[in-house]
Chain A
Amino acid sequence: MKQNIAITVDDLTVAYNYKPVLWDIDLAIPEGVLMAIVGPNGAGKSTLIKSILDIIKPIAGSVKIFDKSYKEQHKLVAYVPQKGSVDWDFPTTALDVVMMGTYGSLGWIKRPGQKQKKEALEALEKVGMLEFKSRQISQLSGGQQQRIFLARALVQKASIYLMDEPFQGVDATTEKAIINILKELRKAGKTVIVVHHDLQTVPEYFDWVTFLNVKKIATGPVKDIFNDDNLTKTYGINYKVSVQQ
């Protein structure tokens, strides 16, 4: 069976102030994979995600979502930003943040109503945060804030999920809860792309992986390419992880 390509990245080069942080990236991410993006700090992982989401304009290259531009397909894509990218002291509640996930399908000016609220509550329930729905977001723990972001993305009911370090600062229970949700998404045929730091858990959590360090080092099925050779190329030191397969 020929698999659809969910995301196509072509010759993508991105620079901040003329300093290239992504260099000539080519990627073809098949639909339905649960993919990790790994690489050291500053490798450009967040930048790659933001380029796919059309948040950052590249200096060269293009990104296609199911063969069309992001502009045409934005309703198919959900985003979980890095937790530290927002000010959690913002005056709003957990439910309100999750409701933001419905704003994309609502479009300009239209206000969220009962239907949107119901969807948001369902997503909160799914991530186990229903009892915190009225909580001011600064009063949530790091793991709970991460779950709120995940719920906000779930509300988008997308086909592709891009998540930037969703496991950052969460405890073991939350990590299990989150990975279960991600696996459920894949089972439902969604494409899930996750910036991930814990190399030990890559084989257990993911079926696809991209190694990134300014350039693309490798991309493919975990069972084929998750090896010491690629890890060493990516992290620059002699890497040994016990990969159980």
Chain B
Amino acid sequence: MNIQEYFSLVFNDYTLRTITLGTAVLGAICGMLGSFAVLRKQSLLGDAISHAALPGIAIAFLITGAKNSNTLLIGALVSGLIGAYWIRGITKNTHLKSDTALGLILSLFFGFGMLLLTFIQKMPNSNQAGLDKYLFGQAATLIESDVWLMCIVTAISLVVVLLFWKEFKLLLFDADYTKSLGYNTQFLDLLITALIVLAIVIGLQTVGVILMSAMLLAPAAAARQWTNSLGVMIFLAAIFGALSGVLGTAVSASSNNLSTGPVIVLIAAVFVVFSFIFSPGRGLLFKEIRYWKNRNDLQLHKTLAFMHNIAKTHENISHPHSIKILNNFQGYTKKSLKKLEGKMYITVNGSMWAMTQEGYDAAANLYNQHNNND
């Protein structure tokens, strides 16, 4: 199947449609909530929580023997929440910095989870519990009820975010000030963390514990490049996330052996790279262009100022001067003369140049501007 076939099939083929919808919704909710993590500079939190979910999956399987994804996800939810709770506890009650606490919980829980997985695989009648799909995800196993769950969680998150929009914005920008206004920041913090944990848990089956945090961070980091408004950023992040989901599913469905989770994350990464280079305000490319433009403008201004100084000494400002006079001046190039002529600031006649009234005024203005800025 190639990409074209995929897109013609996606509307008819039930399985394909389910998977595509699932990854799109997942991408959207991850982008939305990931924006909070990025702006709070809590990028590692998602990573720690998703890794912390692994032992919960294994334990849920050991207790119930269920392969049913919802049962296992409840296990993931519980151990993810315990991980998040412990991280808070450690940072609050010890001297350890938060990244230390995050790293500690991440490796501890993940190591324990791996241990349990190995144990389960060695059990006599484990008949491939298929738990390793939670490491890198397996979108192909998504069924309609999974997608419904994703939609419900997304709807709940959306309602909560809209309801507490003002409070979340305040907390993200200035937590101390939020407290001083009498808001219960602990509650808000818990709410955000709980939503992030939920998003992670519903993504585990598709993307897996290892790449889950990339799914949270990448769309948000990309979106940040394009806008200076929080609302637009979150909206864009959701769009980027959903697009990553759809395109990732399309690519992996059209090349049989690629597993969906990593491809989705790779596409999200492409969004990030593209945004960091090409976005207008903050992108590297435009920064470079602006830099060169400023340099050129400066050169032009310098030349104009020099000419202005010469013209000033004559009663008739449009008195022609030899271009040679400009030779001992470095900012002058044939190109900048052409440009000045193009702007009608000077006229060039053979080896002579003369300033126009327009150029004279522009140069005088330049001076004023510089003085005002000082």
B contacts with A: majority SS: helix
Residue of B whose beta carbon sits closest to that of A86: B174
| Contact across chains for B182 and A71 when beta carbons are under 8 A apart | yes
Residues of B within 8 A of A93 (CB): 228-229
Once the chains bind, are A136 and B180 in contact (CB under 8 Å)?
Answer: no
B89 CB, min distance to chain A CBs, angstroms:
15
B200-248 contacts to A, CB under 8 A, are 224, 227-230, 232-233
- Is A109 touching B176 in the complex (CB atoms < 8 A)? no
Given A74-B181, A74-B182, A112-B166, are A85 and B176 neighbors across the interface (CB < 8 Å)?
A: yes
16 extra interface residue pairs, beta carbon distance < 8 Å, beyond A17-B95, A79-B180, A91-B228: A53-B179, A55-B180, A74-B181, A86-B173, A86-B174, A87-B41, A90-B173, A91-B224, A91-B232, A91-B233, A103-B166, A103-B167, A103-B170, A104-B181, A106-B166, A108-B167
Cross-chain pairs A/B with CB under 8 angstroms, 22 sampled: A17-B95, A53-B180, A55-B179, A74-B180, A75-B182, A77-B180, A81-B174, A81-B177, A85-B176, A87-B173, A91-B230, A91-B232, A92-B169, A100-B173, A103-B167, A108-B167, A109-B164, A110-B166, A111-B166, A112-B166, A138-B228, A152-B177
- CA of A53 to CA of B183 in the docked complex: distance in angstroms? 12
**Contact at A54–B173, with CB atoms within 8 Å?**
no
Q: Kindly identify, within residues 75 to 118 of chain A, every residue whose CB is under 8 Å from any CB belonging to chain B.
A: 75, 77, 79, 81, 85-87, 90-93, 97, 100, 103-104, 106, 108-112
Chain B residues lying within 8 Å of A138, measured Cβ to Cβ, are: 228
Interface positions, chain B 114-169, Cβ under 8 Å from A, are 163-167, 169
Q: How many residues of B contact A (CB 8 A)?
A: 27
The minimal Cβ–Cβ distance linking A48 to chain B, given in whole angstroms, is 14
Q: Is B228 a contact of A103 with CB atoms below 8 Å?
A: no
Please tell me if the beta carbons of A54 and B180 are within 8 angstroms of each other in the complex. Answer: yes
> Chain A: residues with CB nearer than 8 A to chain B?
17, 50, 53-55, 71, 74-75, 77, 79, 81, 85-87, 90-93, 97, 100, 103-104, 106, 108-112, 136, 138, 152
Least CB distance from B237 to A in Å reads: 11
Please name the residue on chain A nearest to B182 by beta carbon. A74
Q: Which residue of chain A has its CB nearest to the CB of B228?
A: A136
Q: How far is the CB of A106 from chain B (nearest CB, A)?
A: 8
* Cross-chain contact of B181 among A86, A97, A103, A111 (Cβ < 8 A): A103
Interface of B with A (CB < 8 Å)?
39, 41, 95, 163-167, 169-170, 172-174, 176-177, 179-183, 224, 227-230, 232-233
The answer to whether A100 and B170 have CB atoms under 8 Å apart is yes
C-alpha spacing A17/B93, complex, angstroms: 8
| Closest chain A residue, CB of each to CB of B227 | A91
Q: Which residues of A contact B39 (CB under 8 A)?
A: 90-91
Contact between chains at B95 and A91 (CB < 8 Å): no
User: Looking across the interface, which residue of chain A has its beta carbon closest to that of B233?
Assistant: A91
Q: How far is the CB of B79 from chain A (nearest CB, A)?
A: 29
